[in-house]
Structure 1
C-alpha cells in the first residue's frame, strides 16, 4: 500500500483522495517531527515563563482577555474540546473523515502549532488503523476554522466522543482500545492546535473537486455520444474556431470532442441536415470549457490550503514570536467552492438540455417520442428527463453562494465569517446531483444510438456505449430505471469508464 509522507508541504488533491479511499497510509517525516518538537519546546517555555499568549494562557474568542493560570492550561484545553464539540447533523462519510485527519496532521506537521509529537502521531495512528471519529456535518462558520466538527475528532484522541472502528460505532475509548491505541491527555495549546483550522471544508472540497473533474471529463464523452444520437455537426469544434477565442480550457474540450468523434458515421456536416446545431451541442467547448476553468481555480486554491498552516496563534521559531493572525478564515475556500458548484451546476444544466433534445420528438430529428419502442402504450424515457429537470432545479438553489453570508459570533469578536464549510457541503451535493443528470443523459444517448444504429458510432464513443450496456440493457419495454441511474452515476463519479475511452481516443484533456 502506498505511503504518504506527512511533511506539511507535499500533499496533492490526488494523494488526499487516495488516502480518503483507504488506499494509502500516512507517515510523519523526520524533518516534520523535528520541527514539531522544536515548536512544542517553545510552548513549554512560554508556559514556564508565564507569558501571555492567546489560547495558551488566555481564554478563547471573546474570552481572549481572560488570563489563565499556568496550573490550569491543561484543563483549559480539555474544556475547549468538550465545549466546542457540539456539531449536529449526519456523520460525515468515512472517506471525508480520513481526508480531514490527513489534512489536520499535515497542517500540524508544518511546525507552527505547538502540538506534542506524540499527539500528532496518535492522530496519524488513528488514520492508519481506521479509527474514524464520528463527525457531524453541520455547525461550522468557516472562521475560527471548523471549530465544532473538528472538536469531534479531538474528542476521540482524548478517549471521548464516538468513532467507527472496523465498521463498528463505538465510544472513543473503546475504538482506540480495539485498535491497540491509548488516548492522550491534552496539554497547553494542544486542543486549540487540533481544532483551529479549515480542514473540514478543505477535505470536503478536495474530494468534491476530484469527483467533479472526473465528471467534467466524462461529460465530454457523453455529450459526444449525444451529438451522434442527434446527427449533430462537429464543424463547430474545429481548431481554428477555438483559436479565435483562445481560452485553453475551451481549446482542450474541443480537442477532446474531435478525438472522440473521429470515425463516426452518425455525425453530419454543415448544411447536410441543418446549418447549425442548438447551443447545447454547438457551444460544448465554450460551456464545458468554462466549467473546467472553475475547476482549475478550485484546484489551485485547494492545493495551497492542503499544505497551509491555518490555526491561531502561530509560533515562529526563528523570530521567537507568537502571532495571533487569521489564517483560519475560510474565505479562499468558500469562494473556490462557490465557483465550483456554479460550474458544475451549469455542466448539469446543459446536460439536461441535451437530454430534452434526445427525448423530444420535435427536437430529436426523427427519433421516436421519448425514445419509446411503442410510443403511447409505452412512456419510454419520458420521466428520466423530469428527474434531470428536478435535479438541475435543486442545483440552482444549492449554487447560491454561501460565501456572501456572514453572521457574527463570540459576542462580535469574530464578526465576519466565511461559511466555507457550507459552500463545500453544497458543492458536494451539486456534484452528486450532476452525476445523476449525466447518467440520465448517457442512458438516453445510448438508447438513441441503439435506434440510429450503434455500429455507426465512433470507436471512442462506442467504448463508452459498450461499458454502459454492461450496466444498462436497452429499454425495449418500460421498467423502473432508479437503480440503473444510481449505478451509472456512481460509476461516473468513480471514473470507472474513462480509461476504456482513452484506450481508443488517446489521453483526454
Structure 2
C-alpha cells in the first residue's frame, strides 16, 4: 500500500489493523525539508522548545548542543512508564502506521530514518510491547508512544506470540536496525494522539461487525415473537428523515421478506402494537449508526492528522496543542453510548422472548417450565452485562486532572475513553449471542413454519455450533460458541450499512 500522508481511508485502516497491508512512502521531500529546519535550529543558539530545551514545566531549561541526542534518549526512557496489559497487535499496527503517516507529512522535523524505521517495523510484523494504561490523552499519548519508541530503539520489549521478549532480540531476528534519535525526534515520536486514536479505531472496526450482527439478532427475534413488520414501512422513516434510521429499517424489511411465520399471523393477531424493543429497532439502531458514522469521520481525520508539538512550517517552528485528544475522547464517548444501546435493546428483546405474556412462546423458552428453567438465567447474564455497559458508558471526557506541575492543566482522558470500548464490545457481543440463542429457540418452537431465507440461513449457521435446547443443559459453552461466531462476524445481517459510508 502506498502511504499517502493525510489520505488514509477507513478501509485502509482496517487493512492496516488486520495486517493485510505493507506500507511504503513514495515522496520524502516534505520529510527532508522539515528535518533540515530542525537540524539548523539544533546547530543555532536560539532556544527552540523540544530541540534544545527541556520539556513541559522544564521548557525554560537550555540544553547544551553536545547533549541534544542524550536529551531525546532520556525523554524516551523517562516517559516509558505505562502499566497494565499490552496493547493488542491490531492496535499496535495502527499506532505504527498512523505515527509514520503523521511524521511523513513533513511538519515534525524528523529525518527519513525515523519514518522508515516505523514502516520497516510495521512491514516486518514487529509488535512493540506497550502497556495500555498511563496516558491522560494530552501532551500526546506520552507513555504508550514512549514504550513503542523504546522498543524501536532496541531498549524496550516486543510482543511475540503473546509473550514479552527483549525488543533487541526481536529486532535482530527480523533483521531490523535499532533506531537512533537526533534532535527533536524523541519528542515528535511521543507527542501525538496515535495510541488513543488506534484504540478507538480498532473499537470502531470491531463495533461495525457487531452492529451488523445485532441487526440480524433483532430480525430473528422479531420473527420468533411473531412481531409485525409494519413498523419498518419505508414511509414511516422517510417522513422523519434520519439517515441511519432509514437504512436500518430497510435491512429489517429485507430480513423479513418471505417469512412463513410472518404470514401465519397477519390475520387474527390481537396484539395491536409490538413492544418498543421490536417496534423501535430502526429508531434506536439507526441513531447508533449515525453516531458511529460521526465517530468514524472524526477518527479517520485524527488518524491522518499531525498532532505533535512544536510543528515545523516553511520558515518557523510554532508551539501549539494538537496533541490534546479531545476530538478522540468525544468520539469514543459517543461510541460508548451507541455500543451500550445496542446491548441494552438486545437485552430487552431477550426479556421479552422469555415472557410468555408478551412473546406467546413457552415460559423461558423451555418445553416443560418448572422442571426446566430454560433461558431464565441466561437473561440474567445479559442483564448483568447490559448494566455493566451503562457504568462504562459514563463519559471519560468530562474528567481532567492537571499534570506536569500544572503546566498541563487540562487533559482529555481520551486513552481510557477509547480503551474501555473494547470491554463494552465484549459485553455486547455476549448479549447479542444470548439473544441469537434465545431467538433461535423461539423459532424452533414455531416449526414447521419457516422464517425468511436470511433468518433461516442464520439459524442454520448458529445450529451448526449450538444445538437446540428445549430442555435444560449446560448452556455456558453454547453462549461462548455463539459469542465467538458474533465476534467473528459470521452471523451478520445481509446488506448491513457500513460505518464508512
Counterparts of 1:24-43 in structure 2, within 5 Å, are 24-27=21-24, 29-31=25-27, 33-43=28-38
- From 419, 425, 439, give the equivalent of 1:425: 419
Distance 1:487 1:108, change over 3 A: farther
Q: CA deviation at 1:475?
A: 1.2
Q: CA deviation at 1:455?
A: 4.1
8 Å CA contact 1:13, 1:207 repeated in 2:
no
- Per-residue Cα deviation, 1:392-447 (whole angstroms, up to 9, x for no partner): 01000000000000001111111100000111011221122111111110110011
- Per-residue Cα deviation, 1:239-259 (whole angstroms, up to 9, x for no partner): 111122110111111111111
2:77 matched to 1:82?
yes
Distance in 1 separating the partners of 2:231 and 2:257: 14
Query: What is the TM-score with the length of structure 1 in the denominator?
Result: 0.94
8 Å CA contact 1:211, 1:494 repeated in 2:
no
- Per-residue Cα deviation, 1:225-252 (whole angstroms, up to 9, x for no partner): 1010001011111111112211011111
2:368 matched to 1:382?
no
Distance in 2 separating the partners of 1:508 and 1:93: 27
Partner of 1:295: 292
Partner of 1:475: 469
Distance 1:48 1:168, change over 3 A: same
- From 445, 461, 468, give the equivalent of 2:439: 445
Distance 1:58 1:446, change over 3 A: same
- From 211, 235, 238, give the equivalent of 1:216: 211
Farther off after superposition, 455-464 or 5-14: 5-14
- From 317, 326, 329, give the equivalent of 1:331: 326
Partner of 1:408: 402
Distance 1:50 1:135, change over 3 A: same
- Per-residue Cα deviation, 1:42-88 (whole angstroms, up to 9, x for no partner): 11011112232111111111011111111111011001000000000
Partner of 2:112: 117
8 Å CA contact 2:14, 2:205 repeated in 1:
yes
Q: CA deviation at 1:321?
A: 1.2
Counterparts of 1:181-192 in structure 2, within 5 Å, are 181-192=176-187
SS in 2 for 1:164: strand
Partner of 1:396: 390
8 Å CA contact 1:165, 1:178 repeated in 2:
no
Partner of 1:100: 95
Distance in 2 separating the partners of 1:486 and 1:85: 37
Distance in 1 separating the partners of 2:35 and 2:475: 58
Distance in 1 separating the partners of 2:282 and 2:309: 44
Partner of 1:461: 455
Distance 1:352 1:166, change over 3 A: closer
Q: CA deviation at 1:153?
A: 0.3
2:310 matched to 1:316?
no
Distance in 1 separating the partners of 2:157 and 2:224: 52
Partner of 1:344: 339
User: 4+ residue stretches of structure 1 with deviation over 6 A?
Assistant: none
Distance 1:102 1:482, change over 3 A: farther
Query: What is the TM-score with the length of structure 2 in the denominator?
Result: 0.96
Distance in 2 separating the partners of 1:102 and 1:314: 20
Distance in 2 separating the partners of 1:470 and 1:158: 49
Farther off after superposition, 98-107 or 302-311: 98-107
- From 198, 202, 209, give the equivalent of 1:203: 198
Partner of 1:47: 42
Partner of 1:304: 301
Q: CA deviation at 1:464?
A: 1.2
Structure 2: 5+ residue runs without aligned partners?
none
- Per-residue Cα deviation, 1:354-376 (whole angstroms, up to 9, x for no partner): 001111223221x1111113322
Distance in 2 separating the partners of 1:118 and 1:324: 24
Partner of 2:125: 130
- From 156, 163, 172, give the equivalent of 2:167: 172
Counterparts of 1:250-265 in structure 2, within 5 Å, are 250-265=245-260
Distance in 2 separating the partners of 1:270 and 1:108: 65
8 Å CA contact 1:143, 1:329 repeated in 2:
yes
- Per-residue Cα deviation, 1:116-147 (whole angstroms, up to 9, x for no partner): 11122111111111111111010000001100
Q: CA deviation at 1:293?
A: 1.3
2:221 matched to 1:226?
yes
8 Å CA contact 1:234, 1:269 repeated in 2:
no
Q: CA deviation at 1:167?
A: 5.5
Alignment RMSD? 1.6
Farther off after superposition, 477-486 or 250-259: 477-486
8 Å CA contact 1:311, 1:328 repeated in 2:
yes
Distance 1:487 1:38, change over 3 A: farther
SS in 1 for 2:312: strand
Q: CA deviation at 1:270?
A: 8.4
2:489 matched to 1:492?
no
Distance in 1 separating the partners of 2:101 and 2:490: 29
